[in-house]
Amino acid sequence: MTTTSRNWTRPPLGALAGLLAGYAALAVAELVSAAVRPEAGPVIAVGGAAIDRTPPAFKDYAIRHFGTHDKLVLQLGILAVLTVLAIVLGLLSLRHRKAGALGVLLFGVVGGVAATGRPDSTGISDALPSVVGALVGAALLYWLAGRLTAAPPSAAAGADAREGGWDRRGFIVAATAAAAASTGAGALGRTLNNSRGHDAVASRAAVRLPKPASSAAPVPKGAQLRVPGISPFITPNGDFYRVDTALVVPQVDAGTWRLRIHGKGVTRPITVDFHDLLHRDLIERDITLTCVSNEVGGPYVGNARWIGVRLADLLEEAGVRPPSKGGAADQLVARSVDGMTIGTPVEDIMDGRDAMLALGMNGSPLPFVHGFPVRMLVPGLYGYVSACKWIQDIELTTFDSYDPYWVKHDWSKKAPIKTESRIDTPKPFARPRTGVTVMIAGVAWAQHRGIDKVEVQVDDGPWQRAQLAAEDTTDTWRQWSLPWKPTPGPHTLTVRATDRTGRLQTEKRTNTIPNGASGRHSVVVTAG
């Protein structure tokens, strides 16, 4: 009787001990990370390390399928794995107390190594949250497992407790106390970590964007077609796609932010602060940004009105010359506060286009997720080779001597945006009414070259010229539309654009890796 009851209760209690130890470890780690850096917490560090090591194809898959939720999915996945491991270690500790505790320590070491190995790591102290958390978790597991295997102190325990052959009272007291203490530590850590962002939030709220010295012309009236379902010409900030490797959105205080420009061919290195930038001559420009991970027909493209400082002006002040004028550096490497590195051709930045350090997006300071306080933008280039968010350092170097982050991950060193077009409406599998005219409409882009023609094909019919919306600038996308009266049954609608260099959007399908997807967008609808 006694043995059955022990066999029945002990494994669940062992699992519970493991879970409590894991919970305590994470809670303590959260608290310690508040003293070190929030980004050094074990889940963030392991998640970040996972992102760094994910093969590009899989990362692309994750971005496509989870979109902006990819990071949430990753963190939930890590927590799920940790939960299983905690249970396993709890069960193990019933038989081998030391092994269970050592197992917890081992995961602390893994977390610590992950944290110090991240590109934004500030040193060995980044290992502390994981290691200290694991020490506490290991000690707790060792103690709890001891209660589960020890005979109860015969004087204090009643007959019931003795029957199971374990210290029921000691376990319950220790478990309850540990759960309460962990919750307290975790909550305190969370609060401290969250309060770190307060200065940054206040500094953003205080920003007043001055009137630009060079304003953008108003968006031409005809640039926005009145077609339901088409992407708005200007993408509101809240709808603008987000792609980056940051599990914790950097919250930079504009008041302490600095940007340094230095490196090869820089005769006068400069450091600017936010106030300096804000009070220079500002330009305002409409620029359509596109991610290299955007599939044909995909959502990772957006158009905004940006305000910033011409990057070429700053580079000239620093004494930089483009390679075509004898400059020594052909690559500009931008570094962000989260350790991202992005490499851009110096020639492109200095060839007269509106490459900028942007401070404003659609009339407000940059949102935190889009790079507050300052990001880079270069019309015509995919984001991963031009659009460094949370920028803090610019180094002039050469393509031969340095590979930035994405290039190390198998993407091309240089990547101009490919001519592309997308059908926004009708949506795939829509059911338009036979014989009733509907609008086929969408957007086309070939930044810095401009869109000259968009054509639509219904099934295997002739290519029909769509009506183009008014052009804002060659750096922005262009809307288009074509009325269509469907005949009954299924139809495939396909779109293709021609850019101002006369180049027709290729029908050849390529992957997003290494330098952007190509091919034509099709939508299948059925008229009934």
Ligand X SMILES: Nc1nc2c(c(=O)[nH]1)N[C@H]1C(S)=C(S)[C@@H](COP(=O)(O)O)O[C@H]1N2
Cα–Cα distance for residue pair 298/521, rounded to 1 Å = 9
**Residues numbered 237-296 forming contacts with Mo ion, rule: CB under 5 A:** 243, 291-292
**Closer residue to ligand X, CB minimum distance, 107 or 384:** 384
Minimum distance between the CB of residue 198 and ligand X, rounded to whole angstroms?
22
Per-residue contact flags (x/-) with ligand X for residues 338 to 357, judged by CB under 6 A: x-x-----------------
Minimum distance between the CB of residue 139 and ligand X, rounded to whole angstroms?
38
Sole binder of Mo ion in the list 189, 383, 404, 426 (CB under 5 A): 383
Is residue 336 at the binding interface for ligand X, with CB under 6 A as the rule?
A: yes
Is residue 166 at the binding interface for ligand X, with CB under 6 A as the rule?
A: no
Is residue 107 at the binding interface for ligand X, with CB under 6 A as the rule?
A: no
Which H helix or E strand runs over 444?
strand 438-445
Is residue 126 at the binding interface for ligand X, with CB under 6 A as the rule?
A: no
Q: What is the CA radius of gyration of the chain?
A: 29
* Interaction partner, residue 71 (ligand X, Mo ion, none; CB < 5-8 Å by kind): none
Phi-psi region of 183 (alpha: psi -120 to 50; beta: other; left: phi over 0): alpha
Tell how far CA 279 is from the center of its chain: 30
Sole binder of ligand X in the list 107, 390, 445, 484 (CB under 6 A): 390
DSSP string, 401-432: T---HHHHTT--S--BPPPEEEEEESPTT--P
Size of the site for Mo ion (CB under 5 A): 5
Cα–Cα distance for residue pair 156/112, rounded to 1 Å = 42
**Closer residue to ligand X, CB minimum distance, 136 or 361:** 361
Cα–Cα distance for residue pair 34/41, rounded to 1 Å = 9
Of 150-158, 271-279, 336-344, 429-437, the window that binds ligand X (rule: CB under 6 A) is 336-344
Give the chain's length.
Answer: 528
By beta carbon distance, the residue nearest ligand X is: 383
Residue type, 131: V
Q: Which distant-in-sequence residues (6+ apart) come within 8 Å of 177 by Cβ?
A: none
Minimum distance between the CB of residue 387 and Mo ion, rounded to whole angstroms?
8
**Closer residue to Mo ion, CB minimum distance, 409 or 521:** 409
Q: Please, are residues 27 and 189 in contact by the beta-carbon 8 Å criterion? A: yes
* Interaction partner, residue 336 (ligand X, Mo ion, none; CB < 5-8 Å by kind): ligand X
By beta carbon distance, the residue nearest Mo ion is: 291
**Closer residue to Mo ion, CB minimum distance, 243 or 517:** 243
Cα–Cα distance for residue pair 277/213, rounded to 1 Å = 13
**Closer residue to ligand X, CB minimum distance, 93 or 341:** 341
Tell me if residue 79 falls in helix, strand or coil. helix
Q: Please, are residues 396 and 262 in contact by the beta-carbon 8 Å criterion? A: yes
Minimum distance between the CB of residue 235 and ligand X, rounded to whole angstroms?
9
Please report, for residues 38, 80, 253, 377, the alpha-carbon distance to residue 202 in angstroms, rounded to integers and kept in the order given: 19, 36, 8, 25
Minimum distance between the CB of residue 374 and Mo ion, rounded to whole angstroms?
18
* Interaction partner, residue 361 (ligand X, Mo ion, none; CB < 5-8 Å by kind): none
Minimum distance between the CB of residue 388 and Mo ion, rounded to whole angstroms?
11
Cα–Cα distance for residue pair 507/421, rounded to 1 Å = 11
Per-residue contact flags (x/-) with ligand X for residues 368 to 387, judged by CB under 6 A: --x------------xx--x
CB-facing half-sphere around the CA of 258: CA atoms within 13 A:
6
**Closer residue to ligand X, CB minimum distance, 142 or 406:** 406
Minimum distance between the CB of residue 339 and ligand X, rounded to whole angstroms?
8
Minimum distance between the CB of residue 274 and ligand X, rounded to whole angstroms?
17
Residue type, 517: A
Give the E-state strand segments of 236-390 in sequence order. Answer: 258-263, 270-273, 283-290, 301-310, 331-336, 341-345, 356-361, 364-365, 375-377
**Residues numbered 284-303 forming contacts with ligand X, rule: CB under 6 A:** 289, 291
**Residues numbered 443-502 forming contacts with Mo ion, rule: CB under 5 A:** none
CB-facing half-sphere around the CA of 310: CA atoms within 13 A:
16
Minimum distance between the CB of residue 513 and ligand X, rounded to whole angstroms?
12
* Interaction partner, residue 458 (Mo ion, ligand X, none; CB < 5-8 Å by kind): none
* Interaction partner, residue 370 (Mo ion, ligand X, none; CB < 5-8 Å by kind): ligand X
Minimum distance between the CB of residue 386 and ligand X, rounded to whole angstroms?
8
Hey, which residues does 518 pair with through a beta bridge?
510
- Closest alpha carbon to 432 in 493, 513, 356: 493
The Cα angle at residue 338 between residues 327 and 291, in degrees rounded to 5: 70
Is residue 241 at the binding interface for ligand X, with CB under 6 A as the rule?
A: yes
Is residue 245 at the binding interface for ligand X, with CB under 6 A as the rule?
A: yes
Size of the site for ligand X (CB under 6 A): 18
- Pairing relationship of beta strands 391-397 and 258-263 according to DSSP bridges: parallel
Q: Please, are residues 528 and 429 in contact by the beta-carbon 8 Å criterion? A: no
Residues at the site binding ligand X, with contacts judged by CB under 6 A:
240-245, 289, 291, 336, 338, 340, 370, 383-384, 387-390
Binding site for Mo ion (CB under 5 A): 243, 291-292, 383-384
